A and B are shown apart, each in its own frame.
Chain A
Amino acid sequence: MKAFPLLRWLLVSVLVAAATLLAGCQRSEPLPFQLTRITGHMPDLDFHLVNDEGKAVTAADYRGKVTLLYFGYTHCPDVCPLTLAHLHVVMQRLGPLAEGVRILFVSVDPARDTPAILHAYVNAFDKRAVGLTGSPGDIEALVKRYRASFSREPDKGDGNYEVSHSSAIYIFDAKGHARVLATPADSQDALVHDLHLLLDPGVNP
């Protein structure tokens, strides 16, 4: 006897949810992004790496989150921290919505960037940042997938070296589809604006 009202309630809930989803799908006009659109030009997020806790992870582990993919390395004292500090400000400006976003900082210097160092590094910027490293082959595959590049500069003789790397930030929606590209010249305002669009629950085609 008790089960029937519950069942009916469930059925109604499902119908309402389905109707909401359908309404969302009918929005066919392109989203008014301010950053450079890459939908259809870049493949879905896909990788096999190790996170900053030493766990093997794939892109599937971040489905459900809007992700910001950025290549860098921890011995980078200027450009990488500047980018991550700006992303931290962007996350702060998103407020509680930032919970739906992850910054994926992929090391292009796996020889020096252990999960432990990456963990300390990314957490110094934002607690929603994840450090990713892996085998040189797996990192190379991800870099190539997004037509990015990096190159190790000559050793200075003291075992220290710099790594030049693509400075762009690739932004994926919660389904892992590539949506927009940000460069260091783009403003925090544009990032905040576009992330709001991608975080809108009605907008996830």
Chain B
Amino acid sequence: MKARPFATLVAGLLLAGAAHADQASAIHAEGAWIRVLPAGLPAGGYVTLRNGSDDAATLTGASSAQYGHVMLHESSTEGGMGRMKAIDRLVIPAHGQVALAPGGYHLMLMKGADDVHVGSSVPVILQFADGSKTTVDFLARPANAVDAGTAAPSGHDHQG
């Protein structure tokens, strides 16, 4: 149950890569992390996606064996109101990048497994409009983290 979809995915990616470049294989993911919250509360997932191809790529969804449900979301604090809405697609322009970052686009990961704890690596499958997929390892970080933890703590460049 666990190994087969993964094996199929790997085989699919290898085949796709050999045949022609699909959307998933043009995407490079950086600084992927999850803000782990206590009591099984929904967590935010963040990553910067770079598209190395001449064609736009469209992220349409995500899933993870360690979360019951993953949604694509966008937050805003426009007009003094914090709000969040589900989105069904996110376009990464040709040779461009899109940041899923706190306060903006993010993955909402719900019903987390008990084995997700700070410091663990959580594989998340990103799905694209052409049916291609790629697996990205997200680092589980503490609730009060302000970024992926790869850079030195910064001042105030994450707000807004």
Contact = CB atoms under 8 A, between A and B. Distances in A.
B93 interface: no
B131 interface: no
Interface stretch (A10-18, A22-30, A55-63, A73-81): A73-81
Contact of A79 (B38, B84, B146, B153): B84
A167 interface: yes
A82 B143 CA distance: 9
Given A86-B158, A121-B38, 15 more contacts: A74-B37, A75-B42, A77-B43, A77-B106, A82-B146, A82-B158, A84-B143, A85-B143, A85-B144, A89-B146, A153-B83, A164-B83, A166-B81, A184-B103, A188-B155
Interface of B: 35, 37-39, 41-44, 73, 75, 77, 80-86, 102-103, 106, 108-110, 142-146, 153, 155-156, 158-160
Interface of A: 72, 74-86, 88-89, 116-117, 120-121, 123-126, 149, 153, 156, 160, 162, 164-168, 183-189
B41 A121 contact: yes
B77 A184 contact: yes
Nearest to B34: A77
A162 B38 contact: no
Contact of B156 (A75, A117, A162, A187): A187
Contacts, number: 121
Contacts of A75: 41-42
Given A75-B41, A164-B83, A126 B156 contact: no
B37 A77 contact: yes
B75 A78 contact: yes
Contacts of A79: 75, 77, 82-84, 103
B44 A78 contact: yes
